[in-house]
Copies of this chain bind each other. A is one copy, B any other.
Amino acid sequence: MLLFVMRIIPNNSSNGLGPEALRRRGLRLTGPRRLILEVVQSTDLHPTAEWVYRKVRRRLPRVSLGTVYRNLRLLVDEGIVEELRGSPGRHAGKARFDGNASVHHHFTCSDCGRIHDLTAPVDPSLDRRMAVRTGLSISHHRIEFYGRCPACQARQGPRRRARNRR
């Protein structure tokens, strides 16, 4: 049931995207910042800023939402964390953050909007082929798969009449 989950806790100390990545760039490693990085890298739930905020506040109750936003943006700008906007349609309202900065594919549940990382390898030759075909300069790609996750299938039965109300 969970064999499609790519990783639980990525080892970012070894890939150069841990806390020391910040020091290296001349940024200060403060308490809130270290904790925010830790939280966003310790999950593959592609959390929202709000989710990170709640999680961080458990260990650092005085942290502010503004600080979480500021640090998430900084981590994105530094290439340590990636920012996604969820699936098309419903669930698209808020930014989601991916502590797994390596290129990988996604599966998005059209019912609950949850995004799962996929184990399938990325094929870089596709970029070259598409570049030749289109004349575009392509750096990378990501395949976004859509469907219903096991939980939603179980919860709502085999078929579903979607009525996409927010």
Contacts and interface: CB of A to CB of B under 8 A. Distances in A.
Given A88-B84, A135-B3, A130 B118 contact: yes
Contacts of A77: 163-165
A10 B166 CA distance: 28
Interface residues of A, number: 48
User: Interface majority SS on A: helix, strand, loop or mixed?
Assistant: mixed
Contacts of A148: 137, 139
Enumerate the 5 nearest inter-chain pairs by beta-carbon distance, A residue then B residue, closest first. Answer: A85-B85, A4-B134, A138-B147, A77-B164, A141-B145
B110 A139 contact: yes
A53 interface: no
A64 interface: no
A89 to B, nearest CB: 5
Which of A88, A135, A149 is most buried by chain B, counting CB atoms within 10 A of its CB?
A88
Nearest to A147: B138
Given A82-B89, A166-B73, A146 B136 contact: no
Contact of A145 (B3, B82, B136): B136
Contact of A89 (B83, B92, B146, B165): B83
Interface string A84-106: 11101100100100000000000
A144 B145 contact: no
Nearest to A118: B134
A150 B138 contact: no
A142 interface: yes
Contacts of A73: 166
